[in-house]
Structure 1
Amino acid sequence: MSFLTVEHIHHVYFTKESATVALEDIKLNVEEGEFVSFLGPSGCGKTTLLSIIAGLIRPVEGSVKIANKIITKPDPIIGYMLQQDYLFPWKTIEENVTVGLKIIGQKTEETTTNTLSLLKEMGLENVEHQYPSQLSGGMRQRAALVRTLATNPRILLLDEPFSALDYQTKLRLEDLVWKTLKDYQKTALLVTHDIGEAIAMSDRIFVFSAKPGRINRTYLVPKELRELTPFDARQHPSFSTLFQQIWKELDQLEVK
């Protein structure tokens, strides 16, 4: 049985004047330790689906199951990382990265030590007593990742976590996040508008059509790319071939 199962998700946004179908009959499975991406035109419901999987939104129809558990509300087995880091500016980095542990009642000397060790693994040594304003954007996103991993979630949901960063920092963080998730054997779902990012980081890519959001096609990233770091994958000849294929499909979806 798959680690994540999304069954017949259908969601509608209602206003006083109208009803907009955001997602229609979404079905997908993700295996444990797999990294998948959601690509598609703006407004195709990618973030809505991520929020449903996170238990933040109840769908009109359908269900989400993670590790044989039906998800109807936020759960500690799920970690969520957003485009903005949302670090508390009045708290130190140590206080920020351990806040999740404190909320779920798991902040101990041992879990705090483990979290600070993870900070060092992320190249954030000796920053625990600093404040977010003293860190660069890339450093803040790394701290946000540490905060997400501190509670040891089994699946990570990543909603365009690199889109606000400069290109060089983005490439470095892609490699760091990819390696960290592989090392810790985490399952991950990435929402992105960046075709290259999806190819470089993922095992599979789900391409969505818009209005209403449906899964138009699923791409299996070639084995030779999956075995490389994101930076190295971008240099491989297979990368360009898959990029062009997905680009053409998205271009056609935008025209429809």
Structure 2
Amino acid sequence: MSKIIIEFKDVYKSFNGLPVHSGINLSIVEGEIMSLLGGSGSGKSVLLKELIGLIRPDKGDIMVFGRNVTQMKEGELIRLREHVGLLFQGAALFDSLTVSENIAYPLREHLQLTENEIRKRVAEKLQLVGLEGIEAKMPAELSGGMKKRVGLARAIATEPDIILYDEPTTGLDPITAQRINELILELQRKLGVTTVVVTHDLHCVRTVSDRIAMLHEGKILTVGTWEELIASGIQMVKDFFRGTICD
């Protein structure tokens, strides 16, 4: 039986009285790629922030590695985040730091490594994302796709057990987006990580997902493989896949 790594149990969250989550229930098992699909305002990115304790739900439990994130104090959350890599939607690189310094940042924050070990780790992660030898470049010198890949190198620098992707292909041309999709699959295979992808990009979903969770009106509408969702009789799912609901 597959081991559950992440579990949302009856999670509720509102902002200024407007409900975003109205009883989210979802289990994600070890080593799988789970995509969270839904329109704008469906609460996809909020789930990621709740998962690592950046936002607290109003009600419910979020279990990661068998521990309840909603009950963790800040010190415990910091230790949890050492095991989780996050690729932000816009890569979120520090403009004033070089590529090397950006990737080294979580290593210096969380791990006790020598400078030589940090340099080796940075070079290794850049090689994994296909960007060898750009350590000295500044973010302003990089294309959008390169920034995403540097952000991904930073996300995996601490060798996490979980990787979270927030809209990994947004704003990229089709060729670069496909490269990112391939990287998601490659890293999952090489590192054996549990992966959560937040996206509205159906090509990304079809390419990388083991399973897909569809969010609608604050709940998980359905969970299944690409083929299962395509064959679904649920009208909301049909509309989304036909592109009549836009993000």
Give the TM-score of the pair, scaled to structure 2: 0.86
Cα deviation for residue 110 of structure 1 reads 2.3
Q: Percent identity?
A: 30
Alignment of 1:70-89 (within 5 A): 70-72=68-70, 73-74=77-78, 75-89=81-95
What SS does the aligned partner of 1:43 have? coil
Select 1:220's aligned residue among 222, 225, 245.
Answer: 225
Cross-structure match for 1:93:
99
CA offset at residue 112 of structure 1?
3.3
Question: What amino acid is the match of 1:57?
Answer: I
Contact 2:169 2:201 in 1 (8 A): no
Matched residue type, 1:125:
E
What are structure 1's unaligned runs of at least 5 residues? Answer: 223-237
For the residue of structure 2 that corresponds to 1:23, the secondary structure is: strand
TM-score by length of 1: 0.83
Q: d(CA) in 1 for partners of 2:239 and 2:232? A: 10
1:186 CA displacement: 0.8
Contact 1:53 1:71 in 2 (8 A): yes
Task: Return the match for 1:68 from 62, 66, 69.
Answer: 66
3-state SS of 2:183 partner:
helix
Unaligned runs of 5+ in 2: 71-76
Report the equivalent of 2:121: 114
Q: By how many angstroms is 1:66 displaced? A: 1.1
Cα displacement string for residues 116-138 of structure 1 (whole angstroms, at most 9, x for unaligned residues): 11212322111111111222211
> How far apart are residue 83 of structure 1 and its match?
1.4
Quote the Cα distance in structure 1 between the aligned partners of 2:104 and 2:30.
26
Query: 2 CA distance for matches of 1:39 and 1:92?
Result: 34
* Residue aligned with 1:205, SS: strand
Question: How far did residue 26 of structure 1 move?
Answer: 0.7
What is the CA-CA distance between 1:65 and the residue it aligns to? 1.2
Tell me which residue corresponds to 1:150: 157
Distance in 2 (CA, whole Å) between partners of 1:142 and 1:89 is 15
State the partner residue of 1:202.
Answer: 209
Equivalenced residues, count? 233
3-state secondary structure, aligned to 1:50: helix
- Cα pair 1:64 1:70 within 8 Å, conserved: yes
1:174 matched residue in structure 2: 181
8 Å contact kept, 2:168–2:180? no
Tell me if structure 2 keeps the 8 A contact 1:199–1:243.
no
- CA distance in structure 1 between the aligned counterparts of 2:187 and 2:38, rounded to whole angstroms: 26
- How far the C-alpha of 1:177 sits from its partner, in A, is 2.2
Work out the CA distance in 1 between the residues paired with 2:189 and 2:83. Answer: 17
The one-character-per-residue Cα deviations of 1:22-53 (angstroms, maximum 9, x if unpaired) are 10111111111110011112111111112111
